[in-house]
Amino acid sequence: MEQKGLPSSGSITHNIKREKTKQKETAWEAMEQKGLPSSGSITHNIKREKTKRKEILEKKKAIDELIKAASAENDHLASFPPFRCYDRNGLSVHFKSGRGDKLPSPSKQYIQSLLKLNMEGPFGSEWPTEEKVKCREMVSSEARYIFVHEATNTDANEISTLLPRERNFTGSSEDKGPIVGFVHYRFTLEEEIPVLYVYELQLEPRVQGKGLGKFLMQLIELIARKNCMGAVVLTVQKANMSAMNFYISKLRYNISTISPSKVDPLIGIEKSYEILCKAFNHEAKAILEEEIYVTQDIHC
């Protein structure tokens, strides 16, 4: 056939393949000129999306494991021996760990009484409803506590009579001295950022103003950092001006982007509280303190 100038079957097949390849290339060029993705770019995009989803899922899993590990620890104070006691400004106290689902009845009564003493005023007419909410939060399995015990050598005349029959509520021989306050905190997520959320920092009036609150918040921040949390977050009533000043001016907390006044100023005016935070890394700062999103891996 080739001697007669006719193509062989092999060359015909080769020409057909070459023509098909040329047609594909022409089609891809036409698609690209029209702004349409080629099959190659589509495949690349699919792989990139799968990789992105995998990274997101892996990050979410890592964060969940962080929170579970932090919540599973029995005594967060064990890592900070120097912070187990406070002996300044005429006040001598020591701290004990606790959890919400293991509170004895007397401890629940003490917490309720101190909450009412300190918070009924700032909440005003909202208190009856808020009190019920706080009672539920108090015994949650996620709730973690630092209880403040006063030293036993304190002058008997100085010991308050907030709950005369329930002062030593834990029943342990190690828990010497009356309880004069507590911190209720949890490990949770805010805007996909792992945070330590302070639900309550409550001290009896007679031990306030002696640096104890600041010391406890420093301890809370140490616990948060040690457990790789991105920030410490807390809620403060606007009417509680002393608390607002304490956190913002003295401890340098910021009104968070998740606070109602930042989310929507009109709604924020109607709300009686602000959400404050102190971030420890760039991602947490970008999401919880600023309005710019930055992607960053978790670093302890």
pLDDT interval class at 169 (50, 70, 90):
very low
Task: Name residue 189's amino acid.
Answer: L
Domain assignment present for 176:
yes
Class of residue 49 by CB neighbours under 10 A (exposed 0-12, middle 13-18, buried 19+): exposed
Residues 21 and 129 in one domain: no
pLDDT of residue 292: 45
Domain, as residue range, for 106: 75-289
Q: Is the pLDDT of residue 53 over 80?
A: yes
- Say how far apart CA 206 and CA 204 lie, in whole Å: 6
Residue 99 placed within a domain: yes
Residues 52, 178, single domain; the answer is no
Q: Are residues 80 and 130 in the same domain?
A: yes
Q: Specify the pLDDT at position 239.
A: 94
Cβ atoms of 179 and 167 within 8 Å: the answer is yes
DSSP for 194-205 reads EEEEEEEEEE-G
Q: Based on the fold, state whether residues 195 and 273 are members of the same structural domain.
A: yes
Residues 51 and 94 reside in one and the same domain? no
- Looking at the structure, do residues 24 and 125 belong to the same domain, yes or no? no
Evaluate whether residue 4 is within a structural domain. no
Is it the case that residue 242 has pLDDT exceeding 50? yes
110 within a domain of the structure (yes/no): yes
| Same domain flag for 138 and 28 | no
Say whether both 132 and 35 belong to one domain: no
Query: Domain with 224 in it: what CATH number?
Result: 3.40.630.30
Neighbour order of strands in the sheet with 179-190 = 85-88, 91-99, 144-150, 179-190, 193-203, 231-237, 273-279, 254-255
For 275, phi then psi, to 5°, come to -105, 125
Would you say residue 153 has pLDDT above 80? no
Looking at the fold, whether 95 and 187 belong to one and the same domain comes out as yes
* 151 pLDDT more than 50: yes
Residue 298 lies in a domain: no
Are 45 and 117 members of one domain? no
| Token representation of residue 22 | 């040329």
Q: Is residue 51 part of a domain?
A: yes
Number of domains in the chain: 2
